[in-house]
Amino acid sequence: MRVDEQNTNIPNNKRNILLLGKTGNGKSAIANVLVNSDQANTFKESARSSSETKEAKSETFEVTYGDEKIIYQIIDTVGLCDTEMDEENILLKLSEATELLNGEINQILFVVGGRFSKEEEEVYNIFKSILFFDHDCNISRYTTVVRTNFEDFEDRDECEIDRKILEEKIPDDIPIVYVDNPPLKGNNEIKIKLNKETRKASKEILMKHLLGYCRKNYRPSSLNLINDRINEHTKRGKELEKEEENLLEQLRKAKEQGDSEHEKLLQKKIDNTKKSIENENKKKTEGMKRGLIDVINQAGENWKNAAVTGVEQGNKVLPLVGGAVGGAIGVSVGAVGTAFSALGYVFTKAVGGEI
């Protein structure tokens, strides 16, 4: 069946694809491959340990599949375990990703660069047990593990050997897709051409999976609970950003005309608008906290107890605190706790009755 593609911003049969994974595993490379960014610059790629993705970013492209026209929105998130981010930034970026989903998700692509580590399992369980908790819509039903940097991704036998090893570590019955997206920068023309062909083959595998396996959209109630808390501040924030853009354009014209008095007046308005944007972002972060509390309450008292004790319940590890936050109740879960310390803050405060 023929698949034609083109970038588009026209709303249609839309499917949201959320990318998750540790910093350096290749989330942004997969995003570029999917949106057909030949120069690999739509989403900033990096192999370094610190994340190049500092905010949720999305791009769309259209696929004609038989008689269907499908619009995919690819949402790249902040890299997990990025220790440079503080609690407020983590929650703000989570709220940005939630806002882009607009209450509906088609598939979570959980990107791993090798074995499924303990901290990746812990992150998965945070999303499964809290962020996307829903009685009728378990996260495992709309999650795919994407194994990146696998040079033998087109060799079925090699994939099956690795799959058996991976499946021992991956929770639930989650499908695994193998790809390799070598870099396009820092190479000679011949190498770049070969790498583009490899990335093209990877995209064919990903699209075959998305079109054939990931047919259904899901509307987890948790997304609605969070969006209800942040929508007002999201709308106001966008209005203020447009206002700031208009003021900046007026300032540019005032400078060209040499109108210093008008410049001063405009700069004062811009400074006040920036403060208002910061204030709305703080309110949005607070809304994200309260939205998470709503989700905790929906998930049930057992998860509140787990937030305090940090113990395993069956095969579900719920490590919700770490770093400085973990110290508040004597629980530490290592590097992943740093990235998700904001979640730990929310849980401990909620359980303690402080929020």
Within 176-259, where are the H helices? 189-212, 221-257
Query: In the chain, what percentage of residues exceed pLDDT 70?
Result: 68
Q: 344 vs 204, which has greater pLDDT? A: 204
Which of the residue ranges 18-22, 54-58, 197-201 would you say has the lowest mean pLDDT? 54-58
Q: Are 121 and 317 in contact (CB under 8 A)?
A: yes
Q: Is the pLDDT of residue 179 over 80?
A: yes
Q: Is the pLDDT of residue 158 over 60?
A: yes
Q: What is the pLDDT of residues 313-326, one digit of tens each?
A: 333 333 333 332 23
Which of the residue ranges 163-172, 233-242, 342-351 would you say has the lowest mean pLDDT? 342-351
Residue 106: name the closest of 78, 144, 80 by CA: 144
Q: Is the pLDDT of residue 45 over 60?
A: yes
Residue 61, Cβ density class (10 Å: 0-12 exposed, 13-18 middle, ≥19 buried): middle
CA 71 to chain centre: 18
Q: What is the pLDDT of residues 263-285, one digit of tens each?
A: 999 999 999 999 999 999 889 88
Q: Identify the pLDDT of residue 151.
A: 92
Q: Identify the pLDDT of residue 221.
A: 79
Q: Is the pLDDT of residue 170 over 70?
A: yes
Q: Are 60 and 82 in contact (CB under 8 A)?
A: no
Q: Is the pLDDT of residue 249 over 90?
A: yes
Q: Is the pLDDT of residue 18 over 50?
A: yes
Helix (H) or strand (E) holding 309: helix 301-309
Q: Is the pLDDT of residue 142 over 90?
A: no
Question: What is the average pLDDT value for the chain, to the nearest integer?
Answer: 75
Structure-block tokens of residue 341: 């310390």
- The pTM assigned to this predicted structure is 0.74
